Structure 1
């Protein structure tokens, strides 16, 4: 398998914000031989320090272990950091031949190993794993926690991996069934300024949807936001940067 230079495009399909770390397309311990699985980690990095303070270590390594240490990083905000396109030292020794350094993609999510997981980060984690599974033709069962394929590791802490895989499987199935867009009830947080709300309502109407503001806070479906933006020509910075409230799209 060549260098995984499609990873940034795969990450963007989640609808989450994406940062391409300089040099990622040629970073790795040689090309990635194959992708048979996905391994989920937490960084065990600092408790504070911003969205992804572990970037330097994941990219460049630490004493005794040269980087990159994972293909992808996941910030506390749900931002995805694409770090390497080649093989990474993220799981060895592995108890699974489908989840070692030569056969799997590693994701390092920012967490000190005891902090509660933020809803937006877990949502992005699920979406990222689902998109990776779709890209490489993997079932959700191929998504494993580091703790499941390396007996020496505890990560990702306090995540029940069976529940995690169920969430990934639902996202894969929704896409296969065509339920992700359009169709079923979709939630996203729209803007609060009146003129921006009108922009979204008009855009939704042109796409055959009705936008109802209910004023209750809910979780973001960024993929929906991005879809509306692309189809309706709405400005990214001018609208998505001010999303704060919950709403629903209903198919007409």
Structure 2
């Protein structure tokens, strides 16, 4: 058992593990503490949202709906691996589950199959909603799975837990099926491997100085149609990665060919739909490793 982290401790733990964090509105004071206990905490529950689109999914998890007011979790993990913090305290994410499962999590032992729904999970677990339709077809990009691994490891490290403290919603209660699309045993293996070392860090807010790569200039930079050597360096890396839509160039002026090429890179990284729209984001930019242009 452990005392829940404060908001500052929570953010510090995530960022120390290399998580890209977005703080949403007044998440630090947004909770359901007036409806029940928050803590002691024992672990982390991973969910999928059954939604698509970052903005709408974050809004839903922050506000909730008539039958289930928000916050519906503590953080929303988008397809780009960014974690949007929406709650701090008790959240409507876990509901009731099996007390025997809780005992197994506390003991970090093999999980029994959930049968009873007799224990308040909202008091005992951190919860992360991951943007995915949950239909078995919607992909889980590498960046998103990496973020799930990192947030889970961050909280385990902060509380002195092992990977056995990380479970899926379907492992907590027999009324849920999430997450669909990856195995929780595999995720626990990833968390265990990460906990074997020190916090990774270093992926946000930008690559470390002196590493030879161009730091992410921000999404707005590209929407202004810049004329910059950064665009040339990016284009050359896209060509090297086999993601070229250029008939000539690349050159310093941002064009639709740059956007089409970057969209191909996003798809190569496992993104699709609006998440592969050709506008660079931090995770795919860092993965591209664009050399310094000056």
- Judge conservation of contact 2:143–2:283 (CA < 8 Å) in 1: no
Q: Secondary structure at the match of 2:96?
A: coil
Deviation readout 1:93-133 (Å, 9 max, x if unpaired) = 21133581111100001111121101110011111110110
Query: 2:40 maps to which residue?
Result: 34
TM-score normalised by L of structure 1: 0.69
Gaps of 5+ in 2: 106-119, 203-210, 216-228, 231-239, 242-264, 270-281
The answer as to 2:49 corresponding to 1:43 is: yes
Equivalence for 1:91: 94
**1:154 is matched with which residue?**
177
Per-residue deviation, 1:135: 0.8
Q: Which residue of 1 aligns with 2:126?
A: 105
Bigger share in strand: 1
Query: Partner residue of 1:4?
Result: 6
**1:128 aligned counterpart, secondary structure:** helix
Would you say the 8 A contact 1:140–1:168 is kept in 2? yes
Q: Write the distance in 2 (CA, Å) between the matches of 1:137 and 1:116.
A: 32
Q: Which residue of 2 aligns with 1:57?
A: 60
Query: Is the partner of 2:171 in helix, strand or coil?
Result: helix
Cα–Cα, structure 1 residues 42 and 133, in superposed 2: closer, same or farther, change >3 Å? same
Q: Is the 8 A contact 1:191 1:242 kept in 2?
A: no
Tell me the residue number matched to 1:211.
none
- Structure 1 distance, partners of 2:196, 2:284, is 30
**Count of residue pairs brought into register by the alignment:** 199
| Residue of structure 1 in register with 2:20 after alignment | 17
| Structure 1 stretches of at least 4 aligned residues deviating more than 4 Å after TM superposition | 215-219, 239-242
Task: Give the conservation status (yes or no) of the 8 Å contact 1:89–1:101.
Answer: yes
Q: Does residue 1:245 correspond to 2:268, yes or no?
A: no
In structure 2, relative to structure 1, the CA distance for the partners of 1:130 and 1:143 (3 Å cut) is same
Show the counterpart of 1:175.
198
Contact 1:39 1:106 in 2 (8 A): yes
The structural deviation recorded for 1:4 is 3.0
Shift, 1:44, TM fit: 0.7
Q: Does 1:163 align with 2:186?
A: yes
Q: How far 1:63 moved relative to its partner?
A: 2.4
Distance across 2 between alignment mates of 1:133 and 1:149? 18
RMSD (CA atoms):
3.3
Q: Kindly tell me: are residues 119 and 33 of structure 1, through their superposed partners in 2, closer, same or farther at Cα, counting changes over 3 Å? A: same
Q: Deviation of residue 189 (structure 1)? A: 9.9
Larger radius of gyration: 2
Quickly say closer, same or farther: Cα 1:15–1:93, change in 2 above 3 A. same
What secondary structure sits across from 1:8 in the alignment? helix
**Kindly tell me: are residues 144 and 69 of structure 1, through their superposed partners in 2, closer, same or farther at Cα, counting changes over 3 Å?**
same
Q: How far apart in 2 are the matches of 1:26 and 1:107?
A: 17
**Which runs of 5 or more residues in structure 1 are unaligned?**
183-187, 197-214, 220-238, 248-252
